[in-house]
Amino acid sequence: MSAAHVGVLALQGDTREHLAALREAGAEASTVRRLRELESVDALVIPGGESTTMSHLLRELELLEPLRARLAEGMPAYGSCAGMILLASEILDAGAGGREATPLKAIDMTVRRNAFGRQIDSFEGDIEFEGLDGPVHAVFIRAPWVERVGPGVEVLAEAAGHPVAVRQGRMLATSFHPEVTGDRRVHAMFVDSLRAR
C-alpha cells in the first residue's frame, strides 16, 4: 500500500515542523494553500497559529467551505493548538469584530481559546497520553482546552483537569505542539490511523 498523502495547511504556524514529523512517521507530506492542493491530499494537518487569522485566511483563499465539505465527507484531520480550535464544533471566546475563529465542526467538542492564558503563561510538561508508551512532553503556547466532548469523542490526555488531546473517528486534536519536541509518536498515531483505513 502506498504512503498516505497528508497535507499541512500552510497559512501560519509550524508548517515545516509538521511536514518533517509526518515524513518521519512514513507519510508523503506537502503544503496546502490552494483548492487543488486540498483536493489532492488524503488527510490534513491544521497547525498552530492564530485561529481568528487562520479563519480569515481560509475565507480569503476560498478554502473554508471546501475544507468543511471534505471534513464532513470523512477526510481525516489532525489539529494542534489553533488546529484543535478550528476542528471544534463550538468555540468559546471566538473573537469579535469580524475576526472570529470559525469552527469547522469536525469534532463534537467545545473548545476555549487561550484557556491557559496569554503568551507569557505558556508552559511545558510531561503528560500521560492514552495509547502511547510513556508520557508525552507537551508544549502549550497560548493553548486552548476542551470544555465539553460529545459521546463519540475519546479523551486521550488531560492537563489542569481539562482534555488537551482528543480523538473522534479519524479526527485527532491536541492543544499542545508535538511537532516542536522531536517526539513523533502523536504524528505516528495519526499516520497509522490512515493506514488502518
**Cell 480523538 -> residue:** 167
| CA–CA separation, 108 and 8 (whole Å) | 22
**What local confidence, expressed as pLDDT, does residue 129 receive?**
98
**What local confidence, expressed as pLDDT, does residue 99 receive?**
77
Residue 136 to residues 20, 91, 95, 99, 181, Cα–Cα distance (Å) = 18, 26, 30, 33, 9
Domains in the chain: boundaries: 5-195
Q: Is 73 annotated as a binding residue?
A: no
| CA–CA separation, 16 and 178 (whole Å) | 13
Q: Whole-angstrom distance between the N-terminal and C-terminal Cα of the chain?
A: 11
**Cell 488531560 -> residue:** 158
Q: Which CATH class is domain 5-195?
A: alpha beta
Q: Is 50 annotated as a binding residue?
A: yes
Average pLDDT of adjacent 10-residue blocks, the chain of 197 residues? 89 94 96 97 96 94 97 97 97 76 96 80 89 95 94 96 96 96 95 85
Q: Is 51 annotated as a binding residue?
A: yes
| CA–CA separation, 10 and 6 (whole Å) | 12
Q: Is 195 annotated as a binding residue?
A: no
Q: Is 33 annotated as a binding residue?
A: no
Cell matching residue 21: 514529523
**What local confidence, expressed as pLDDT, does residue 61 receive?**
95
45, 174 Cβ separation under 8 angstroms? no
* Angle CA 99–123–113, to nearest 5: 25
Q: Which residues are catalytically annotated? A: 81, 177, 179
Q: What is the pTM of this model?
A: 0.94
**What local confidence, expressed as pLDDT, does residue 114 receive?**
83
109, 144 Cβ separation under 8 angstroms? no
**What local confidence, expressed as pLDDT, does residue 195 receive?**
85
Q: Is 91 annotated as a binding residue?
A: no
Torsion of CA 161, 184, 88, 168, to 10 degrees: -90
- Find all residues with CB under 8 Å of 75, minimum gap 6, and list them: 41, 42, 43, 44
